[in-house]
Structure 1
Amino acid sequence: MADGAIRVEGEAVPLLLLPGTLCDARVFAPLIARLAGRILVHGDLHGETDMGALADRLLRGAPARFAIVGFSLGGIVALEIAARAPDRVLGLALLDANGREVPPELHAARRAIPADATSHAALAGETLWPSYVAPARADDEALRALIVDMAECAPEGAAVRQTELALSRVDSRPRLAALAMPVLVLAGAEDAVSPPEIQRELVDGLPDATLVLVPDAGHFAPLEAPDACADAVRAWLRRVDAGARSLNPDPSGGFMTDSNSKSIKAAAKDDGIADGHVLQVERRDFTQLVPTDRPRVQSMKGFDDCYTDIVDYIIRCTHKIWDERDVGLIYTHYTHNCVAYTTMGTMYDRETHIRDTIQRLVEFPDRRGMAQQVIWRGNDVDGFYTSHMTHGLGRHTEYGAWGKPTGRTYCTRTVADCMILENRIYKEWIVRDNMGPLIQVGLDPHVFAEGIARKKFETGEQVLEVSENRRLLGQYPPETEADVSIAHTEGEAELLRWLHHIYNKRMFGKIHEIYAPNCQWHGPLMRELYGVAAVLHQTMKLVALIPDCAFVPQHICSVESEEGGTKYALRWILDGHHMGYGTLGAPSGHKLTVMGVTHFHVKDGKIVDEWVVYDELSMLVQLKLAAMQTAA
């Protein structure tokens, strides 16, 4: 989130979540599932090997004021952040953390641990596993598998770098007395890594700290005892929120976390409910997005009377179909021959839409789709085009396409691009991150992809091989100029030029010019990255996977944002061959086509936020299917 540009509804302080060594957001997944309704910012602990440098980078990308939940190494980083910016940190939750420095005489031994490991998986699942959990959980293979999978998903060399990061810390104990914010110190009572005496030491040094030692839990208390941890964190958050309101009460009923609240209030006057402006999603509660007494602010010929503008239409009808279970509304909101292009295949009629919706609702009955953004263009004569991004949260509780229910929670990101005329969607592109929730509920994506590919193979579906994607014409270099014919504004054209420069001309250094230093990147598998270096690395990873790829924009639209600047929605195709290493396995040479949607927020000529959705599971299915074709 950009500095000075965040408003948190409901008087809730945003949370910065910092995971531990070789961990990712999944270490907080059970906690997040029990703490709905709060803005969460996931911190990336990869890259820096100096604690101070990492703290400074996270502070640049964090909200103006926030609270931190830090687990293990993340808790150590949280102490450094709080020491550097005590006026911005409104609360600390230190989970299985440690305030001591590592004595220099132990540095060599610490460095030897990751250096001697054959892999991240071996380090987490064999070397460190006995110290990670309480003795009673030593045979918990599901927990071990999750910890190993997080380790395997960490970037190459992460264990070595994070060891250096941990060794770079200073002794936080002399600084504890200056941290006056509410602090939760929580650990497993049987934590062998950060034992109870270290936790009591923290509490003794902090002015306003609460100690919780969770019985029968070890170092991974958030995963070993999620209910006990959630109860303690909820109690701590009540204190944090109360303290934040007393510091900066907002007469409109929300807690303003930015230093420019006057300008933001002016931009969002009356919340856009009756001022003639089309609704914007980002800073409004759902009830404000589906008003009952608002006059129409757009001409909406042929649309149902309840819809006041195109954003109201998208949000309200989606909620009616998916949350209120009025699936039959599809009959009046889709044409009978509506075509929906998805990452896993194409639906060619309305009845298929209805069957697919019912099956998803049965398999995930408590699923909720939280609208994040609707970027649009058009009118009721020529038709509307909308790009609707949601976060889907739920639990896998019923038998279905994913097999036996696991009971585990998931969170995924989806973008649905729709073409709409007179109340009916007649064409749709649905890009859902299917890989993320599959991993979160504990399923093996390779096994799952193999099953899907087998069914496609048996019905005669093929991966079509095209030898030339036309990024390069014969022996010529890539086109110097981007094709901007789909742009409607100069801003859209400029964005297309930037992306052509990066993806087709492979001039990755452009990223340093067009991304803000404090930019955020929100990607597949619910990855949250910060800073230009992270965006650069992630972009190159995708191109490295498909090194002959051509980047082809399909559609672009934009809206001026109440938060300042402009938000853009770009639907694109990446076409090439699996000729590089990455998460999909060793290079196979098989054809790969990636359909994606990216939302950008551009302020003052710089990208401050990028949300990108594409489906790694569909890519894996393509490779499995191509392998079956080759072997046949």
Structure 2
Amino acid sequence: MTTPVSPKISQVRHVPIARLLKPVERGSFPMDGFDDEFGDIIDYIFKITHWIWADKAVGQIYDYYAETCTVYTGFDVTHSVEDVVTGTLAMMQSFPDRSMDFVNVAWSGDPKEGFYTSHLGFSRMTNLGPSSYGPSTGRPSRFFTVADCVSRDNQIFLEWLIRDNGAVVRQLGLDIHELAKKLAQNDTRQGKKPWFAEKLASLPVTRGSRQAAPLARPTKSIEDRLRHILHDAWNRRLLNVLSDFYDPDAVGHIAGGHEISGREALIYHYVQLLAAIPDAEFSFDHYCDVVETDGVLAAVRWSIMGHHHGDGLFGPPSGKAVYILGMSHFRFEGEKVVEEWTLYDELSILRQIYAEPAAANGEE
């Protein structure tokens, strides 16, 4: 397996915040178009996130987000910096004591085309104000988020954001199915459709009886190896390839706030998703990586489309077409994955399942 080769860059794992806030020398890292105070792209992402959320300098969003920034979530999409500011203030009202630890930041790109970063954070907060989930509950919540951002000329202009809403909703003492039904009913009344409605509208009724074809022989790069393993596991249903992928004692932090231990438990999560969506088609949408303090960290943004034909994760089969936006971080020690973080938004998936057919399929 080939270790990523890149200019020297900041590391965030197990590094105190006070040290991360110190100035970083730019050195050989190319940051054309970015303010001189940022030493590299990870330094940039950490500091602007800390200033906006920890310091509550919300107005700095106007400095570090493009005016027409597009942000995709598991259901919605927004297209302006004003939407980012509005969403940030709403979250701060709902959870005013929110704190966030930087867990991982992987990256790729350059200043000309734009830097891509995948930032995994862990938040602690208390629901002290009204939120999109409902009235204040006064309850605490602990959950992961992943923000995949594309930045150029000192501003983020494109973002994919996944919050582990499944974990949050349950910790607030709410019934996730009832909440999803209410959101779906509101979508119907408002004529609201998910940003991927056209993708679902063109989805064949069945995947077909043939197994997906294998990819070309993999190279030694981490990206190519991950692309092949995930394709074989998801699209060819060859779950046996995962036995050589995970360390026997690997641990996983999975959507819904689930903490699991051991290779077999991680493989079982693949089984659960495939059982719920038997015709699932997996797409490997983006890859980036970084050499961290305790191994190589690889980040994959992915998506799944298919029909909810099976019992399990998302309740009794509904037959509805669903789209899952997912993000995974894999930490390697040598050839094996020893730790994984995989997030998708259960609430958004259930919102599709409980939607009226017209809202779910993008029909008029």
Say which of 199, 202, 205 aligns to 1:466: 202
Q: Give the match's secondary structure for 1:595.
A: strand
- Matched residues in 2 for 1:424 and 1:482: separation? 37
1:397 shift after superposition: 0.8
Q: Deviations over 1:426-463 (max 9, x none)?
A: 10000111111111011121221122112211222345
Stretch deviating more after TM superposition (550-559 or 301-310): 301-310
Give the one of 403, 416, 421 matched to 2:147: 416
Deviation at residue 303 of structure 1 after TM alignment: 1.5
Matched, 1:620 2:350: yes
Amino acid aligned to 1:446 = H
Matches within 5 A, 1:426-505: 426-462=157-193, 463=197, 464-468=200-204, 472=208, 476-481=210-215, 490-505=221-236
Q: Distance in 2 between matches of 1:477 and 1:306?
A: 52
How many Å separate the matches in 1 of 2:303 and 2:170?
Answer: 24
The 8 Å contact of residues 521 and 530 in structure 1, kept in 2 or not, is answered as: yes
Relative to total residues, which structure has the larger helix share, 1 or 2?
1
Root-mean-square deviation (CA), in Å?
A: 2.1
Residues 1:302 and 2:39 aligned together: no
Offset of residue 379 of structure 1: 2.2
Q: Which residue of 1 aligns with 2:311?
A: 581
Aligned 8 A contact 2:12 2:292 in 1: no
Question: Residues 112-133 of structure 1, C-alpha deviation per residue, up to 9 Å, x if partnerless?
Answer: xxxxxxxxxxxxxxxxxxxxxx
Q: 1:602: which partner in 2? A: 332
Q: Give CA deviations for 1:231-280 in whole Å, capped at 9, x if unaligned.
A: xxxxxxxxxxxxxxxxxxxxxxxxxxxxxxxxxxxxxxxxxxxxx83111
Superposition deviation, residue 628 in structure 1:
7.4
TM score, norm. by length of structure 2: 0.90
1:290-439 matched pairs, under 5 angstroms:
290-292=21-23, 294-297=24-27, 298-439=29-170
In the TM superposition, what is the alpha-carbon distance from 1:471 to its structure 2 partner?
A: 5.9
Structure 2 contact 166–257 (Cα < 8 Å) conserved: no
* More RCO (CA 8 Å, sep 6+): 2
What do the CA deviations read for 1:598-619 (whole angstroms, capped 9, x no partner)?
A: 0011222111111101011110
Within 1, Cα distance between the matches of 2:61 and 2:205? 37
Give 1:525 shift: 1.9
Equivalents in 1 of 2:234, 2:242: separation in Å?
Answer: 11
Matched position secondary structure for 2:96? coil
Pair 1:470–1:577, CA change in 2 (3 A): closer
Which stretches in structure 1 are left out of the alignment for 5+ residues? 1-275
Change (3 A) 1:284 1:470: farther
> Which aligned pairs between 1:197-346 and structure 2 lie closer than 5 A?
277-292=8-23, 294-297=24-27, 298-346=29-77
| Residues 114-166 of structure 1: per-residue CA shift (max 9 Å, x gap) | xxxxxxxxxxxxxxxxxxxxxxxxxxxxxxxxxxxxxxxxxxxxxxxxxxxxx
Residue from 611, 616, 625 that aligns with 2:341 = 611
Give CA deviations for 1:460-487 in whole Å, capped at 9, x if unaligned: 2345433428965xx5431121698xx9
Matched residues in 1 for 2:217 and 2:88: separation? 37
Letter aligned with residue 213 of structure 2 = E
Distance 1:411 1:381 in 2: 37
User: 2:302 — aligned with what?
Assistant: 572
Deviations 1:67-107 (A, max 9, x none): xxxxxxxxxxxxxxxxxxxxxxxxxxxxxxxxxxxxxxxxx
Partner of 2:3: none
Where is the strand percentage greater, Structure 1 or Structure 2? 2
Q: Distance in 2 between matches of 1:420 and 1:609?
A: 27
Letter paired with 1:527: H
In structure 2, distance between residues paired with 1:511 and 1:430: 27
Q: Aligned partners of 2:133 and 2:191: how far apart in 1?
A: 23
Contact 1:498 1:510 in 2 (8 A): yes
Aligned length: 349
- Are the equivalent residues in 1 in contact too, given 2:94–2:127 (CA < 8 A)? yes
Any runs of at least 4 consecutive aligned residues in structure 1 with deviations exceeding 4 A, and if so which? 469-472, 627-630
Determine if the alignment matches structure 1 residue 545 to structure 2 residue 276.
Answer: yes
Q: Distance in 2 between matches of 1:514 and 1:587?
A: 31
Q: Is contact 1:380–1:422 with CA below 8 Å preserved after alignment? A: yes
